[in-house]
Amino acid sequence: MAGHTEEHDAVTGRTTTGHEWDGIKELNTPLPRWWLNVFYATIIWSIGYFIAYPAWPGVSSYTRGVLGYSSRADVAVEVEALKARRAAQAADLATVELAAIKADPKLLSLAIAQGKAAFGDNCAPCHGIGATGSKGYPNLNDDEWLWGGTLEDIHTTLKHGIRSSNDADTRISAMPAFGRDGILKRDEIRMVANHVRALSGQPTEAGYNRAAGEKLFADNCASCHGEKGLGNRDLGAPNLADAISLYGNRLEDIVETVTNSRAGVMPAWAGRLDPVTVKSLAVYVHSLGGGQ
């Protein structure tokens, strides 16, 4: 770099900056005035902005600005507005009977929409997204119900739960642990398990004796499950003669069930969710396909 003499450039009619790098000179082309003015204006604007809005970070906090703006407060307002709107929409859901919801297409679609959302948030962890269930968690799409599949039954189960420790009205049933408690012997359990398989028309083991199985079943199981194993909803005793079994219908599954018993738990939702949501859930589950 050498020299600092400004030159007049004949072609453009402008001067150079006076700098020179290895013979290369640069035309002096100042920023357009309008651009510069806009730039200054933004600087002035930013001063006002710093004063009015949150701007400078501190060590543990930040300057809050004189307008007191906060995006978090904005969200809170929007959430409140949404809640108010939902409450208005759901006003009818809160007062109307379950059966009447079913009869009103508008309320029905609202309840199903709300129920579906609530199901995903609260029920899906156990029952699965499509309420498909899995071992120990009932499939809610089918027509087998431990505690009844009418709207009212489902609503009651939802409200009070099953074997829920903090609800006095919870659904409760207790099958004895026939093996663990020494009621039945090992071979007897195997015999009765074979009989349970026979009830739903499945093949049995070689050593299975129908008369002995029937007797064992009648003495130990029929009081709850019925003579033919058709179950009893008042007691929460499942139907053993159909194609659906909550804990599996392989021989070892049934042996395990008879030996140690099963006691699945569902929380009581009455205290956790608001009544409208519980109602909506009942309607949604009832509409999945198995509702009675």
Partner 1 sequence: MSTSDIPDIPLYASAKKVYPQSVRGTYRRIKWGVLFVCLGIYYFLPFLRWDRGPNLPNQGILVDLVNRRFYFFPIEVWPQEVYYFTGLLVLAAMVLFLMNAIAGRIWCGYLCPQTVWTDLFLHVERMIEGDRRDRMRMDEGRWGPGVLARKAAKHFIWLMIAWWTGGAWVLYFADAPTLVRELASGTAPAVAYIWIGILTFTTYTLAGIMREQVCNYMCPWPRIQAALTDDEALNVTYRYDRGEPRVSVKEAARRKATGEAAGDCVDCFQCVAVCPTGIDIRDGAQLECIQCGLCIDACDTVMTKIGRPKGLIGYDTDGNVQARAKGLPERPFRPVRPRTIIYFAIIALVGGAMLYQLATRATAGISLIHDRSPLFVTLADGSIRNAYTIRLINKRPDSRLFALTVEGPAGARIELVNVSATADWRPVVAVEPDSTREIRALVTAPKSAFSGKSVPIVIRASDLFAGEDVAARDHFFGPG
Residue 82 CA: distances (Å) to CA of 43, 74, 89, 115, 120: 39, 12, 11, 17, 19
Residue 74 CA: distances (Å) to CA of 49, 56, 69, 284: 18, 20, 8, 33
Q: Hey, which bits of the chain come out as E strands?
A: 16-21, 24-27
Q: Which of 54, 128, 148, 176 binds partner 1 (CB under 8 A)?
A: 128
Q: Which of 16, 141, 173, 259 binds partner 1 (CB under 8 A)?
A: 141
Q: Which residue has the tokens 């207790």?
A: 174
Q: How far is the CB of 141 from partner 1 (least distance, A)?
A: 4
Spatial separation of the C-alpha atoms in residues 71 and 75, rounded to whole Å: 6
What residues between 88 and 117 interact with partner 1 by CB under 8 A? Answer: 102, 105, 108
Spatial separation of the C-alpha atoms in residues 101 and 279, rounded to whole Å: 9
Q: Which of 28, 132, 204, 259 binds partner 1 (CB under 8 A)?
A: 132
- What is the per-residue binding string for partner 1 in 1-40, x denoting contact by CB under 8 A? ----------x-----------------------------
Q: Which of 139, 157, 277, 280 binds partner 1 (CB under 8 A)?
A: 139
What residues between 273 and 292 interact with partner 1 by CB under 8 A? Answer: 287, 289-290
- What is the per-residue binding string for partner 1 in 227-266, x denoting contact by CB under 8 A? ------------x--xxx----------------------
Q: Which two tokens stand for residue 216?
A: 């064992």
Q: At what angle do helices 275-287 and 71-95 cross, to 10 degrees?
A: 70
**214 is a contact residue toward partner 1 (CB under 8 A):** no
Q: How far is the CB of 83 from partner 1 (least distance, A)?
A: 27
Q: Which two tokens stand for residue 123?
A: 């029920």
Spatial separation of the C-alpha atoms in residues 172 and 192, rounded to whole Å: 24
User: Smallest Cα–Cα separation from 259: which of 193, 172, 162, 173?
Assistant: 193
**Smaller CB separation from partner 1, 105 or 203:** 105
Which residues of the chain form contacts with partner 1 (CB under 8 A)?
Answer: 11, 102, 105, 108, 128-132, 139, 141-144, 239, 242-244, 287, 289-290
